[in-house]
């Protein structure tokens, strides 16, 4: 059963018949299925590792309207895996770079760009005009946001996630099965799961997972014959290093707060707060810039430098004078700090180090703690250009 109603279908042109001929001779797609692809409106959230193959293959397949959401710009470190962008696009908005590539691949489709951060106050409006959403994001707050809005709007959510060598994919369609919250009722503690930028990722992995997502989107549009032919109610797990696929059966949670029998989430919520990134009773964390830290160090101020990055990151860029204490060991090693001396916490981009300060605050550490704003990458940019930003 397709999600595209017959009333939206239009004929294929001669050029379209030629372009999509390999689809047309497949009985599972055929002319009717290709017409549905032409009529479909798909939103890809994120034009990074997962969004790159998603956008390219959906455009190649002839999805009539392709929406792209991203607030970021292209960096050189993206190009190891985000194949929709190119070296000449470094510094450009990702949605513009992706649109350029997609329109070059298939100028017959309509590309709609949303150069913005998806948030509680704009998600209903942005997602509302699409038939299916493909989640190519890399953070929990946006995943929960996409899930909840898709459930509220009755839109299927084609999910993918990657980490180092592992990936997972599913279709969360609350009309026919579980949603993301049924699988993950609560997010992990802040800082406990590093992002790809912090933990690394095998470059080909998002290509594999994103292509699986694109396949599921196409099947939703053309109609796979049955829900059982989709990843609805199934979580596909992939380990690229061991080259293994596994599968978990998923069940709908009757007590799910968004898709259960008695939902309590009836509109988008504060996802930063839900994921523990902000709390109403939190004191603001004091930031120190790389330049300001350099000034204090040059003056000989007594400062404890605490590097919460993993050992492999420290090998890429050793922060001279910093004491290495990985994030997961902080609370157990708080006795190694001197509360009488300012402590500056360092990670790659200044995110984990903020979580580190919260962990120590919760553990009862009373010393003055500062966060290196922008992390080691800011130090490279503003202080030591000979060091490596990664």
pLDDT reading at 270 higher than 80:
yes
Task: Quick: pLDDT tens for 187-206.
Answer: 988 777 777 877 889 999 99
Say whether both 291 and 269 belong to one domain: no
Say whether both 222 and 348 belong to one domain: no
Say whether both 213 and 307 belong to one domain: no
Say whether both 190 and 55 belong to one domain: yes
Domain boundary among 252, 274, 296: 274
User: Which CATH number does the domain housing residue 122 bear?
Assistant: 3.40.50.720
Q: From CA 363, how far away is CA 327, in angstroms rounded?
A: 13
Say whether both 197 and 130 belong to one domain: yes
Whether 388 is covered by a domain: the verdict is no
Say whether both 260 and 309 belong to one domain: no
pTM recorded for the entire structure:
0.86
Q: Could you give the angle at the alpha carbon of 77 between the alpha carbons of 74 and 79, nearest 5°?
A: 70
User: Which CATH number does the domain housing residue 346 bear?
Assistant: 3.40.250.10
DSSP letter (8 states) at residue 322: P
Q: From CA 306, how far away is CA 325, in angstroms rounded?
A: 7
Whether 188 is covered by a domain: the verdict is yes
Whether 1 is covered by a domain: the verdict is no
Say whether both 206 and 295 belong to one domain: no
Q: Provide the residue range defining the domain that includes 375.
A: 286-382
Q: What pLDDT was estimated at residue 282?
A: 63
Q: From CA 153, how far away is CA 355, in angstroms rounded?
A: 33
Whether 280 is covered by a domain: the verdict is no
Terminal alpha carbon distance of the chain: 46
Whether 387 is covered by a domain: the verdict is no
Say whether both 258 and 303 belong to one domain: no
Secondary element (H or E) of residue 168: strand 166-172
Task: Quick: pLDDT tens for 329-383.
Answer: 888 899 999 999 999 999 999 989 998 999 899 889 999 999 999 999 999 999 9
Say whether both 267 and 313 belong to one domain: no
Task: Quick: pLDDT tens for 99-153.
Answer: 999 999 999 999 999 999 999 999 999 999 999 999 999 999 999 999 999 999 9
Residues recognised as catalytic: 196, 347
Domain boundary among 245, 274, 303: 274
Number of structural domains the chain divides into: 2
């Amino acid at each position: 059963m397709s999600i595209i109603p017959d009333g939206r279908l239009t004929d294929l042109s001669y050029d379209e018949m030629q372009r999509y001929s390999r689809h047309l001779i497949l009985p599972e797609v055929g002319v009717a299925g290709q017409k549905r692809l032409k009529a479909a409106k798909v939103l890809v959230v994120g034009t990074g590792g997962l969004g790159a193959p998603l956008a390219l293959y959906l455009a190649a397949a002839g999805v009539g309207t392709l929406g792209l959401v991203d607030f970021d710009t292209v960096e050189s470190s993206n190009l190891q895996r985000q194949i929709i962008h190119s070296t000449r696009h470094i510094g450009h908005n990702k949605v513009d770079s992706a649109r350029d590539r997609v329109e070059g691949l298939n100028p017959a489709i309509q590309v709609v760009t949303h150069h913005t951060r998806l948030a509680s106050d704009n998600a209903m409006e942005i997602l509302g005009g699409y038939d299916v959403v493909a989640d190519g994001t890399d953070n929990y707050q946006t995943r929960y946001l996409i899930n909840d809005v898709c459930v509220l709007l009755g839109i299927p959510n084609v999910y993918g996630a990657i980490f180092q060598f592992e990936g997972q994919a599913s279709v969360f369609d609350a009309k026919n099965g579980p949603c993301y919250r049924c699988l993950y009722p609560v997010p992990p503690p802040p800082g406990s799961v590093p992002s790809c930028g912090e933990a690394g990722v095998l470059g080909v992995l998002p290509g594999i997972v994103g292509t699986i997502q694109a396949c599921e989107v196409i099947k939703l549009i053309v109609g796979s014959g049955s829900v059982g032919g989709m990843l609805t109610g199934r979580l596909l797990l992939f380990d690229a290093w061991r080259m293994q696929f596994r599968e978990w059966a998923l069940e709908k949670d009757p007590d799910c707060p968004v898709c259960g029998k008695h939902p309590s989430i009836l509109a988008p919520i504060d996802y930063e707060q839900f994921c523990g990134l902000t709390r109403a009773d939190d004191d603001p964390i004091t930031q120190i810039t790389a330049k300001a830290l350099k000034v204090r160090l040059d003056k000989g101020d007594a400062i404890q430098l605490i590097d919460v990055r993993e050992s492999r990151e420290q090998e890429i860029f050793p922060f001279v004078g910093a004491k290495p204490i990985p994030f997961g060991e902080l609370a157990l090693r708080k006795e190694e700090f001197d509360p009488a001396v300012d402590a500056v916490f360092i990670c790659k981009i200044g995110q984990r180090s903020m979580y580190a300060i919260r962990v120590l605050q919760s553990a009862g550490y009373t010393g003055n703690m500062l966060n290196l704003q922008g992390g080691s990458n800011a130090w490279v940019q503003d202080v030591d250009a000979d060091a490596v930003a990664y």
